[in-house]
Amino acid sequence: MTGAALIWAGVIVGGLGAIAFGPELVSALRRPRGSRRREVHSPAWDPGRELRAERKARELLRSVVSAEDFDAYEQLGFLSVGGAPRATGELNGYAYLVYPHRPIVAYDTATGEPLNEYCVSFRDSSEPALGERLPAADDVLAKWMALHGRERELIATANMHVPGRQVDPGQVRRDLVRLREWRAARSRAAA
Amino acid sequence: MKPGHGDVLLAEGDPEVAEDEERLIEEFRRQLDQGLWAAVPTADEGHRQAVMVRDFSEVPRDAERVVFYPPAAGG
Give me the pLDDT at residue A108, please: 95
> Could you give the ipTM of this predicted complex?
0.93
- Alpha helices in chain A, H assignment, sequence order: 2-30, 47-64, 67-76, 136-149, 151-157, 169-190
Q: Is the entire prediction scored with pTM above 0.90?
A: no
How many structural domains does chain A have?
Answer: 2
Mean pLDDT of the region B16-45: 94
Q: How big is the A-B interface in CB pairs under 8 Å?
A: 116
Closest in B2, B52, B70 to A150, CB measured: B52
User: Do the domain assignments include residue A149?
Assistant: yes
How far is Cα A141 from Cα A54, in angstroms, rounded to an integer? Answer: 12
How does pLDDT run across A92-149, given as a tens digit for each residue?
899 999 999 999 999 999 999 999 999 999 998 888 878 889 999 999 999 999 999 9
- Most confident region among A2-16, A35-49, A52-66 by mean pLDDT: A52-66
CB A157 within 8 A of CB B74: yes
A12 has pLDDT over 70: no
**Is residue A146 less than 8 Å (CB to CB) from chain B?**
yes
Chain A interface includes B75 (CB < 8 A): yes
Q: Is B5 on the interface with A (CB under 8 A)?
A: yes
Confidence check: pLDDT of A21 > 90 = no
> Do A110 and A153 sit in the same domain of this protein?
yes
Q: How far apart are CA B73 and CA A156, in angstroms?
A: 10
Among positive and negative, which fits the CA dihedral B61, B65, B70, B74?
Answer: negative
Residues A54 and A19 reside in one and the same domain: no
Domain ranges of chain B: 18-69
pLDDT(A34) > 90:
no
Same domain for A160 and A80, yes or no, is yes
Task: Find the closest chain B residue to A128 by CA distance.
Answer: B3
Between A88 and A29, whose confidence is greater?
Answer: A88
Query: Looking at the predicted structure, is the pLDDT value of residue B25 above 60?
Result: yes
Q: Does the beta carbon of B30 lie under 8 angstroms from any beta carbon of chain A?
A: no
**A145: nearest CB among B6, B50, B73:** B50
> Does pLDDT of A26 surpass 90?
no
Judgement on whether residues A99 and A12 belong to the same structural domain of the protein: no
- CA geometry: angle at A43 spanning A39 and A46, to 5°? 165
Q: Are A62 and A94 contained in the same domain?
A: yes
Contact B57/A141 with Cβ under 8 angstroms?
no
A10 vs A133 pLDDT, higher one = A133
Look over chain A and give the mean of its residue pLDDT values, rounded to a whole number: 85
Distance of CA A52 to the CA centre of its chain: 16
> Does residue A24 share a domain with residue A100?
no
Residues from chain B contacting residue A51 (CB–CB below 8 Å): none
Do A82 and A111 fall within a single domain? yes
Helix (H, G, I), strand (E, B) or coil at A120: strand
The continuous run of DSSP H or E covering B26 comes out as helix B18-33
Helix (H, G, I), strand (E, B) or coil at A70: helix
Q: What is the mean pLDDT of residues A30-48?
A: 63
Report the distance separating Cα B24 and Cα B31, nearest Å.
11
pLDDT higher than 80, residue A44: no
pLDDT band at B38 (very low <50, low <70, confident <90, very high): very high
Determine the residue type at B30.
R
Q: Say which residue, A12 or B44, is predicted with more confidence.
A: B44
Q: Name the closest residue on chain B to residue A45, using Cα atoms.
A: B4
| pLDDT at A30 exceeding the cut of 90 | no
Judged by a CB distance cut-off of 8 A, whether residue B70 touches chain A is yes
How high is the pLDDT of residue A60?
Answer: 96
Find the residue in B nearest to A147 (Cα): B50
* CB contact at 8 A, A116 and A106: yes
> What is the CA angle A116-A170-A109, rounded to 5?
50
Residue A45: is its pLDDT beyond 80?
no
Answer yes or no: is A40 within a domain: no
pLDDT above 80 for B46: no
A89 shares its domain with A177: yes
Structural domain of A29: 2-35
The residue type of B31 is Q
